[in-house]
Amino acid sequence: EVLLLESGGGLAQPGGSLRLSCAASAFTFKNYAMSWVRQAPGKGLEWVSSITTNGDATYYADSVKGRFTISRDNSKNTLFLQMNSLRAEDTAVYYCAKRTAGSNSPIDYWGQGALVTVSS
């Protein structure tokens, strides 16, 4: 069964940084585009970022563009999200998600999520 395990969440101050990781298993990681999706407390889902299979293209929501960086290490089956210049409105559960193929394909599997809280 596909498994996506996020780590690295926690408390950060406004203007601070955090790096999320997502360890993938039970599928050939390098063959699938990956994404991050977040959900603020009591709110709906928001697509944050996607990355192609080999990392040669990345895409970002306007709300995080220029502050967040998605990357992947196919040798370690791991997805990352570097979050800089954090704001209170970035407080959310961040889900790692596997796509069915390329970055224009839908999500089929989700991780359990990592909580990021931005507060002073």
Partner 1 sequence: QTVVTQEPSFSVSPGGTVTLTCGLSSGSVSASSYPSWYQQTPGQAPRTLIYSTNARSSGVPDRFSGSILGNKAALTITGAQTDDECDYYCALYMSGGFWVFGGGTRLTVL
Q: Does 104 help bind partner 1 (rule: CB under 8 A)?
A: yes
Compute φ and ψ for 89, nearest 5 degrees: -75, -5
Q: Are 20 and 37 in contact (CB under 8 A)?
A: no
Neighbours of 110 (CB within 10 A): 16
Candidates 11-19, 23-31, 37-45, 80-88: pick the segment binding partner 1 (CB under 8 A).
Answer: 37-45
Nearer to partner 1 by Cβ, of 82 and 109: the residue is 109
By CB under 8 A, name the one of 17, 28, 54, 112 that touches partner 1: 112
The reply to whether 35 sits near partner 1 by the rule CB under 8 A is: yes
**For residue 62, what are its two tokens?**
């306007």
Rounded CA-CA distance 78/30 in Å is 10
Query: Which CB, 23 or 45, lies closer to partner 1?
Result: 45
- Half-sphere exposure in the Cβ direction for 16 (13 Å, CA): 15
CB atoms within 10 A of CB 83: 23
Piece in contact with partner 1 (CB under 8 A), picked from 17-25, 68-76, 78-86, 103-111: 103-111
Give the three-class secondary structure for 94.
strand
User: Which position among 19, 21, 55, 113 is part of the footprint of partner 1 (CB under 8 A)?
Assistant: 113
Mark residues 60-99: x for contact with partner 1 by CB under 8 A, - for none: -x---------------------------------x----
